[in-house]
Amino acid sequence: MPAVWRGRLLELPLDRGQSARPRFHCLLMIITVSGPHGTGKSTYAARLAHALRIRHVSAGSLFRRIANEKGLSLEELGEKALEDPSIDKLVDERTIAEANKGNVVVDGQLAGWILKERTDLRIYLKAPEQVRLERIAKRYKLTLQDARLQTEQRESVQRERYLRHYSFQVEDRSIYQLVLDTSLGTIEDTAKVLISAAVMVRKAKKHKA
């Protein structure tokens, strides 16, 4: 299995500065990257943003920050969010606010759904369960068994939470224009596929403008 490149995970609100303006800044590109844990959402979103010279916003980073502020694990905050929809609402509001500024790649489990009407390209990443668990175990220095238990708990709560609060199943891929298995190639080759798709969409948008 190819090594997983870990870019810096950025927190909301985020603006990578005015010096890194996209070439076609007037087009206001909005791209979302979604998928299960361990598929490389933040990794590939960061690479996309760098290649396109636009911002990268991670909805997941805000959820992590809320967990840290409350002194809770991600699993514990997930359980709390199941009963308290205001937690997801806060993440949604901040995600939408960042997207409305344009020129951004947003990664997050719900990014594609929350920004469905605003996006130019919605990407869904997947990978075999064993590959995802190995990546998660390596990232958080867990045993494979602990990674499995924690991931199963998180994803079970998330499925119920999203169905309860949003009335959809997060596994539904019908809204995505590009679905890609990140285990098929190296990080570099996988990133090239995503970047090529984004550049194609941006060119098409430029011609329509």
Residue 207 pLDDT level (bands cut at 50, 70, 90)? confident
Instruction: Find out whether 139 and 50 touch, Cβ atoms under 8 Å.
Output: no
**Main-chain dihedrals φ then ψ at residue 58, nearest 5 degrees:** -110, 115
Which residues lie below 8 Å from residue 6, measured CB to CB, with a gap of 6+?
A: 43, 139
- DSSP state letters, 69-84: HHT--HHHHHHHHHH-
Identify the CA nearest to 88 among candidates 103, 102, 78.
78
**Tens-place pLDDT, residues 86-115:** 999 988 998 999 999 999 999 999 999 999
Mean per-residue pLDDT, 114-119 = 94
User: What is the assigned CATH class of domain 25-208?
Assistant: alpha beta
Domains of the chain, by residue range, sit at 25-208
- Please state at what angle helix 74-83 crosses helix 59-70, rounded to 10 degrees: 90
- DSSP state letters, 100-147: HT-SEEEESTTHHHHTTTT-SEEEEEE--HHHHHHHHHHHHT--HHHH
Averaged confidence pLDDT in the chain: 86
Beta bridge partners of 56: 105
Q: Give the separation between CA 200 and CA 29, rounded to whole angstroms.
A: 12
Residue 27 pLDDT level (bands cut at 50, 70, 90)? low
**Main-chain dihedrals φ then ψ at residue 153, nearest 5 degrees:** -65, -50
The C-alpha R_g of the chain, in whole angstroms, comes to 17
> What percent of the chain shows pLDDT beyond 70?
87
pTM value surpassing 0.85: no
CB count within 10 Å of CB 83 equals: 9
Structure tokens at 19: 């010096």
